[in-house]
Every structure is written in C-alpha cells, then in structure tokens.
Chain A
Amino acid sequence: MDSEQQSATLSALARVRENAFFVLELDIACSRMEMERQAQKLLAMLELGLSSATTYSTPVGTGIRDADKVRLASARLRDPEKRLEEELWARIAKAEKPPPDPDADLGLEDLPKKPRPDAPWPNALPAFGWGRK
C-alpha cells in the first residue's frame, strides 16, 4: 500500500473516529441544549487537565480529545445540514465479539512472540553492497 492510499484509508477511519457525536460522547437524538452543555463541560474538564476528558471511545478505537476538537465538533452539530451527515456516520452498530473461551486462556498471549521466518530482511540491500546500513 503506498502512502497516498494509506492516508486515504486513515482518513476514512478518521471520519468515524472524529465524528462529532463520538467526540462529544452524545446520543444522535440529543438536543442542541444538551450538546452545548456537554461541549462546555468537556472544555472545562480539558482546561483543568482532567485525564478522563482527554480520551473517548469510538467503534474504531480510542480517540484523543483536545479543546479544538471539541469546538470543531460542536460547530458541526450547530449546523443542521452538517449534523445530518454526522448522524448518518454515527449510526454505527457494535460488532458482536464471540464470548471468551475460559479454557483458552493458558497464558500464551503473555509469551513473547517469535518473529515470523518470512519477516522482511531490512539489511538486504546493504548486505549486497547497495546503500548504507
């Protein structure tokens, strides 16, 4: 995957990660007043440096929250046309995870993983005299 394509995939994921409803941790049916209150609350928490305000969870992993992100999210939700789009992307279902198998936990996850034999050989070009190590 080249860097251009990688950034296209990342930006598609960022669209979900930075969805205004996830940033503000709001339900899509929330009112304008609820949204304003939540934004003010988060900005105050961020100003106080509370660690609980710096992260939020999304279907694509944890996002990092800062004051600019909160202001941008509330601006998007104030505009009804943009809010409609945000609502569409926020209607995401949670993937079902299979229940953990209690017998499966043998502590193997904690063992250091052996590198795959077909892992890249970064020194290949220098080894043949092409380029510098």
Chain B
Amino acid sequence: MNAAFMGLLAAVLFTKVVIALFSARPKKQSKHPRPTDYRLFLIIVLLLLAGGLARLEEGPFRLNDVRSMATAVPLAMFIGMFVVWPLARHVFAPLGMVRTAYYVGYASWASPEDRIGRALMAGAIALHRKSQFDAESASFLEERITSQKGLRGGGIVAAAASAAARGDREGARALFLSIGQLDPRATTREAIHIAYEWLAADAAGRGAWQEVIDLGISSSHVGRSAWLLIQVAKRLLCKPDAPTRNALLLHWLFAPRRRHTFAIVERALSIEDNASMIEDEEENLPTVSDSEGPLAKALALHVALLSMKKPTAVDIVYTARSFDIAFEGDALLSLLQKRAEVIGASRPDDALRRFRDDVEDSLFHLLKAHSIALDDTKMDLGEFASAAQRRLRDETLAVIEALSDAVGNRAREKRALSAIDEWREFAALKMAYERGMRLGGPELRYLAFTKVHTDLSALAVWLFNERGERPIANAMLRFLLSEAQAVGDAEAIELQTKNVAIGV
C-alpha cells in the first residue's frame, strides 16, 4: 500500500513537472503552438503506471491476472512514448544507422498522426551522420518519402534533410523553409526545431548572419540550436538586443553539441559587450570627367559598377542615366557613321543597336544578381534603367506564371504527383512569388496573385477533396489567404477564410 501511495505521488509530481515544462511558453500568440494537448492522456498513463509499479511490490506478473495486465499495458505505453523515440533520435540516428533509426522511430507512439514522418526524419538525420554519403540508404528513405500519403511536417523535413545529404542545398532550403507554412496541427515541434537548426546553420555557413536573426523573428519556437545561433548572430552583428557574455554562455550551456559549437561562441565572446559594428569600406562609383565625351564616361562608370561587390539602386540608375546622356540626340550615330565611312562598314545603326542591347542586358543582369528593385515612383529611371527593370519584372512574372501554369494545368487534368513532389512544386512557386514581390513591388504582386490564386486553388482543392492530402492542401490555402489579405482581394479573402477554417 505504501508502495502504491509512493508510486502515485511520484506520478503526480512527474506529471506536474511535465505539465510545467509544456506550459513554460511565452503568453503571446504563438505561431507554432503545440499541435495536440496530450496532458490529460499523459496523466492517466502515468497514474496507471504508478499503480502498476506499486502492484509489482505485491508479487510477480501473471498473464491471467487482470491487475498484472493492467500494469503491462501502461508500461508498454510508457516505453512506446518515452523510450523508443529517444532511442531512434538520440542513439541510432547519431550513429548513422539509417534503417534502424527509421524502424525504431516507426515503433514509437509519441506522434501517432505522423509516425512515418517522424521515422523518416530519424532516418534522414542518420543519413547525415554517415562518414560517406550512402546512396542506398538515401534511396531507401526517398522511396518511403515519395510513397507517403497524408504528408505532414515530419515527411517534409525528412525530404529536406535527404536533399541536403545529396548536396542539393537550394532544394533543402526551400523545403525546410516551407515548414513554416504548415498549420501547427500538421507538424511537430521537433520537426520545426530540426528545420530551423538546419536553416540557421546553413545561413551561418554562408555568413548570412542577418538571415539567422530573421529566423527568430519568423518563429518563436526555433529550438535550442537555432536559438543559440541567433544569439551568436546578434553579438557578431553588434545588435542592440545582443545578449551579454554571461547570457550567451548560458545559451551555449543549454544548447546541444557544446563541444562543436564552442568555436563560434568563442568568436562571439571576443566582441565587447555593447560594441558597435565595423562598417564595410564604403564602395562608391569613381569620379569620371566628361572630357572624353559622355560615352567614355558612361562606359567607365559601367565597368566600375560591374566590379562593385554591392552596387546600390542609385549606382545603377546613375550609370544608366549616363548612357541615356550618351545616346541623347544623334551625336553617337553620327560619330559611328563617320567611322563606318572610314573603315568601310555599311550598317552603323546595327552596331549601335547591338551595343545598346548589350548595355541593357548587362544592367538587367546586375539588377537580377543583386536582387535590386528600381522604384520608378521614387527615381527618374530614364530609358536604360527602365528597360532593364521592365525586363526583370517581365522575366520574374513569366517564371511565376510558368510555375503556376504547371500546377494549375496538372490539377485540372488530374495528373497526380506524389505528395512530396506536389509540395516541392508549391515550395518552388512560393519562392518565385516571394522573389517577384521583392523585385516587382505591389504591381507585380497583384498581377501574380490573380494567376497564382486560380491555379493553386485548383491544386489545393483537388488535394484536399479527392486525394486526402489535407495538411499540405491547407498550407497552400493558408498561403493564398495571407496573400489575398496582402493585396486586399475581398472575394479571395472570403473564399480562402472558409477553406482554411475546414482545417487539416
């Protein structure tokens, strides 16, 4: 009896600790609340377990004894919930045992809605821990990812990790980022943590520290690893809200893989508290005199612009305007006609047109390479810059339309892809759309939305109603709803609000 009482007491205390851990979240509206509340279920299991353990004090197990079985069932549930998954995630995955991690992860009851997804996730992590890329194990996982029905967060993270293991960083980035689009009920906190850990480490590897900080803004539940990198990034960029040295050390102590991350923490600690950022040497266009003529000046500015690491919109417009001046009137054509007479050329206007095309092409590539949007409402762009900007807008819109068409046509013709490939198409379309928004402004956003709304709605409805892929369909509808709100399309807002409300 004493043992039963002690067991119950221990169970209640343990439950309280677990509840406290799950409740220790900021009070503000979270983007990723815990998908399902298991607390009551947990309490019942723990109480049964405690009662069962107390029963053990009274004698050995017997198969025909109801009280013995009443002990065995919660014990098995306890093992399934708390032992099997950590074994897959923290033992077999780090050892690089892909298949074992997958099968043991599959046996876990910790996430009944996404058992396969979580198992695939454990397998995909294991794939990264092998000393060499194992194509056979990768194929084993990818076959299962491709054949998965009812795709959720775990499957998407596994596909992203598998792409990263194959060296497809762009593909992995798009898939990991797409996790944020899912309804919180369609993913797990662990999947989100893994995704943000990879995204933060990938950005840190590229030196994109601001991108690391932005991850913390996009989600409040990024996990301990990503959170450590966010704090490191804040110190490296000398942000006003950067943690103090002691606070950073504390973050590091709480984060995993401390031995491996100490190098970057040490670098961040080498910066004084409240230090100010070392600014890049200012990069300016050189001064070029007009003495050799406007064309000579424009060309000199052009080559200087091409050599700049980070040209600004003003640099590009200034250079483009200098070409406008060079092309003003007929002076250049007259000069070319005179030279043509001397050397015996017959088509000086063709040469001038090709030269003009080459300059426009070069300015277009500069805008595209540096993702610079020229705003004709704030600057007088002139002919060359306008032409380059127009071409950039047209190309961006054409890419969005092509991706959108592919999705819409397939949905209307009912040509199904695997769920993960449907999601990949959506992720690619969303990335192109967001890039278009940055480069083309509100005008392009509205044009693109009209097209994307029709095509993506068709795909999402088909996935939802006929193919049972509710989580990913819901994510697509959520994206459409947020865009409808951004462009202010009342009809689309009403339609997508209803669609999203149906749930996952």
Q: Which chain A residues have a beta carbon within 8 Å of chain B's beta carbons? A: 1-2, 5-6, 8-9, 12-13, 15-16, 32, 59-60, 80-81, 83-85, 87-89, 91-97, 116-132
Contacts and interface: CB of A to CB of B under 8 A. Distances in A.
A92 B369 contact: no
B65 to A, nearest CB: 46
A129 to B, nearest CB: 6
Interface stretch (B18-26, B103-111, B115-123, B296-304): B296-304
23 contacts: A8-B365, A8-B369, A60-B306, A80-B345, A81-B351, A92-B303, A93-B291, A95-B304, A96-B286, A97-B286, A117-B268, A117-B271, A120-B205, A120-B207, A121-B204, A123-B205, A124-B205, A124-B264, A125-B201, A125-B205, A128-B261, A130-B198, A130-B201
Contacts of B268: 117
Contacts of B352: 88
B470 interface: no
Contact of B344 (A16, A80, A128): A80
Contacts of B202: 124-125
Given A89-B299, A128-B201, A132-B131, A9 B358 contact: no
A127 B261 contact: yes
A92 to B, nearest CB: 4
Given A59-B300, A116-B278, A122-B205, A5 B348 contact: no
A84 B207 contact: no
B369 A1 contact: yes
Contact of B347 (A60, A81, A128): A81
Contact of B237 (A6, A96, A118, A124): A118
Given A1-B369, A80-B345, A96-B286, A129 B128 contact: yes
Given A9-B365, A89-B299, A128-B198, 18 more contacts: A9-B306, A16-B303, A81-B346, A83-B345, A84-B336, A84-B343, A85-B351, A93-B296, A117-B278, A121-B205, A124-B204, A124-B229, A125-B205, A127-B257, A128-B225, A128-B261, A129-B128, A131-B128
B355 A89 contact: yes
A12 B362 contact: yes
A9 to B, nearest CB: 6
B222 interface: no
B164 A131 contact: yes
Contact of A93 (B197, B207, B292): B292
A120 B206 contact: yes
B165 A92 contact: no
B365 A81 contact: no
A46 B43 CA distance: 86
Contacts of B267: 117, 121
Which of A16, A32, A87 has the most CB atoms of chain B within a 10 A radius of its CB?
A87
A91 B351 CA distance: 14
Contacts of B260: 123, 126-129
A95 B339 contact: no
Chain B: interface size category: 35 or more
Contacts, number: 158
B236 to A, nearest CB: 5
Contacts of B347: 81
A118 to B, nearest CB: 5
Interface of B: 94, 125, 128-129, 131-132, 161, 164-165, 197-198, 200-202, 204-207, 209, 225, 229, 236-237, 257, 260-261, 263-264, 267-268, 270-271, 278, 286-289, 291-293, 295-297, 299-300, 303-304, 306-307, 336, 339-340, 343-348, 350-352, 354-355, 358, 361-362, 365-366, 368-370
Contacts of A5: 365, 368-369
A6 B164 CA distance: 23
A88 B362 contact: no
Contact of B94 (A59, A127, A129): A129
A97 to B, nearest CB: 7
A36 to B, nearest CB: 14
A81 B343 CA distance: 9
Which of B132, B348, B365 has the most CB atoms of chain A within a 10 A radius of its CB?
B365
B296 A92 contact: yes
A117 B270 contact: yes
Nearest to A1: B369
Contacts of B299: 16, 89, 91-93
B198 A127 contact: no
B205 A12 contact: no
Contacts of B296: 91-93
B355 A85 contact: yes
A13 B207 contact: no
Contacts of B369: 1-2, 5-6, 8-9
A75 B358 CA distance: 21
Given A84-B351, A117-B271, A93 B289 contact: yes
